[in-house]
């Protein structure tokens, strides 16, 4: 958390308001996951371009007098959120980055400080290119076919839940949405990836797309810290079929939802509906 829907909701919230904004100042708080990687004054006077998303990363391209001037690669970590503030006021103890512009301030709040704001000369140059190198295809990419997913899964022997979380076959399915997509597709989270048939791989891709699309429509999920740039919480968690519902009846078959811990992450599933 935040996962792809929350990051995309954030992108949509800041793209239009900041497009064409001029950077006036940069404030750094406590250190984040990685250092900024440039002097703050290098950013002052630049103009923000269209905000892009790649997986769970946001890219804020910058220009100076019409020429590319690098950009900021942002990650919300485990507990981060961005707010667009007309009058930001004094930063709190968990406010670790402010990008002040002539259209307001973009503020990163991150209690656990696993997030990051990193300068890169370009999206296809280090450090941005290095951080994005292992990300798989976007789930809504028209070029991502069920056949391509099945082929990629056949080369992996790990449990399908772990493969989804790794983000190399398809990016953006974090813990919440991996659990929900697997339930929708009727696939047990412990099923070995290379044993999924082509039909089940197709069902999984379809389920993942449906799950993420619904989450986007509901503003993502808010379990603890996430809110959009205007402070609103997501609502998908209220519709979750399995995530966080251990012991409650499966909405499909009525059997109790189970919880297991895999690699330190909680996994929720229905033993009746989800078969290996």
CATH code for the domain in which residue 44 is found: 3.20.190.10
Secondary structure class of 221 (helix, strand, coil): coil
Catalytic residue among 11, 53, 56, 113: 56
Catalytic residue among 2, 5, 139, 159: 2
Please give the average per-residue pLDDT across 234-238, as a whole number: 67
pLDDT of residue 233: 52
pLDDT band at residue 82 under the 50/70/90 scheme: very high
Does the annotation count 3 as an active-site position?
yes
Q: Is residue 259 part of a domain?
A: yes
Residue 234 has pLDDT above 80, yes or no: no
Phi, psi of 123 (to 5 degrees): -70, -30
C-alpha–C-alpha distance, residues 113 and 53, integer Å: 20
Q: Do 34 and 83 reside in the same domain of the chain?
A: yes
DSSP element (H, E) containing 119? strand 116-120
| The domain boundary residue, chosen from 132, 160, 183 | 132
Q: Do 74 and 128 reside in the same domain of the chain?
A: yes
Please give the average per-residue pLDDT across 243-266, as a whole number: 90
Residue 251 has pLDDT above 90, yes or no: yes
The domain tally of the chain equals 2
Domain of 32, in residue numbers? 4-132
Residue 103 has pLDDT above 60, yes or no: yes
Q: Do 155 and 78 reside in the same domain of the chain?
A: no
Does the annotation count 2 as an active-site position?
yes
Please give the average per-residue pLDDT across 74-79, as a whole number: 90
Q: Is residue 139 part of a domain?
A: no
pLDDT of residue 223: 53
Residue 227 has pLDDT above 80, yes or no: no
pLDDT of residue 263: 67
C-alpha–C-alpha distance, residues 2 and 225, integer Å: 9
Catalytic residue among 192, 209, 252, 265: 265
* pLDDT one-digit tens code per residue, 139-156: 999 999 999 999 999 999
pLDDT of residue 11: 94
pLDDT of residue 44: 98
Residue 226 has pLDDT above 80, yes or no: no
pLDDT band at residue 1 under the 50/70/90 scheme: low
Q: Is residue 276 part of a domain?
A: no
Q: Is residue 275 part of a domain?
A: no
Supply the mean pLDDT for the chain. 91
* pLDDT one-digit tens code per residue, 176-199: 899 999 999 999 999 999 999 999
Q: Do 113 and 198 reside in the same domain of the chain?
A: no
Q: Which residues of 246-255 are buried (b: 16+ CB within 10 A; e: fewer)?
A: eeeebeeeee
pLDDT of residue 4: 87
C-alpha–C-alpha distance, residues 245 and 230, integer Å: 29
Q: Is residue 151 part of a domain?
A: yes
Q: Do 110 and 153 reside in the same domain of the chain?
A: no
Please give the average per-residue pLDDT across 80-105, as a whole number: 93
Residue 235 has pLDDT above 70, yes or no: no
Q: Do 39 and 62 reside in the same domain of the chain?
A: yes
Decide: 169 and 152 in contact? Cβ < 8 Å.
yes
Q: Is residue 141 part of a domain?
A: no
Q: Do 23 and 49 reside in the same domain of the chain?
A: yes
Does the annotation count 265 as an active-site position?
yes
Q: Do 69 and 166 reside in the same domain of the chain?
A: no
Q: 25-30: list long-range contacts, CB under 8 Å, 24+ apart.
A: 25/98, 25/100, 26/97, 26/98, 26/99, 26/100, 27/91, 27/97, 27/98, 27/100, 28/96, 28/97, 29/91, 29/95, 29/96, 29/97, 30/96, 30/113
Q: Is residue 100 part of a domain?
A: yes
pLDDT more than 90, % of the chain? 79
| The domain boundary residue, chosen from 77, 102, 132 | 132
Q: Is residue 140 part of a domain?
A: no
Q: Do 211 and 239 reside in the same domain of the chain?
A: yes
pLDDT of residue 88: 87
CATH code for the domain in which residue 262 is found: 1.10.8.50
Residue 262 has pLDDT above 80, yes or no: no
* pLDDT one-digit tens code per residue, 20-34: 999 999 999 999 999
């Amino acid at each position: 958390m935040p996962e792809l829907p929350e990051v995309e909701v954030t992108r949509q919230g800041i793209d239009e308001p900041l497009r064409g904004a001029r950077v006036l100042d940069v404030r750094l708080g406590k250190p984040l996951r990685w250092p900024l990687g440039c002097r703050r004054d290098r950013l002052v006077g630049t103009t923000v371009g269209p905000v892009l998303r790649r997986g769970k990363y946001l890219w804020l391209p910058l220009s100076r007098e019409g020429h590319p001037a690098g950009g900021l690669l942002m990650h919300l970590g485990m507990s981060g959120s961005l707010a667009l503030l007309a009058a930001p006021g004094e930063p709190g103890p968990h406010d670790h980055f402010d990008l002040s512009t002539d259209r307001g301030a973009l503020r990163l709040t991150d209690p656990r400080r696993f997030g990051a704001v990193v300068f890169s000369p370009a999206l296809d140059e280090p450090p941005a290119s290095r951080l994005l190198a292992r990300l798989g295809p976007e789930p809504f990419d028209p070029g991502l076919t069920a056949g391509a997913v099945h082929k990629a899964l056949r080369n992996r022997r790990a449990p399908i839940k772990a493969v989804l979380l790794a983000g190399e076959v398809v990016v953006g399915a974090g813990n919440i949405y991996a659990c929900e997509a697997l339930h929708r597709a009727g696939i047990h989270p412990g099923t070995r990836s290379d044993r999924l048939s082509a039909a089940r791989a197709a069902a999984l891709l379809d389920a993942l797309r449906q799950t993420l699309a619904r989450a986007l429509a509901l503003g993502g999920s808010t379990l603890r810290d996430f809110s959009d740039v205007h402070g609103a919480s997501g609502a998908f968690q209220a519709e979750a079929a399995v995530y966080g519902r251990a012991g409650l009846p499966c909405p499909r078959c009525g059997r109790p939802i189970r919880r297991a811990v895999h690699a330190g992450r909680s996994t929720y599933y229905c033993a009746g509906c989800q078969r290996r």
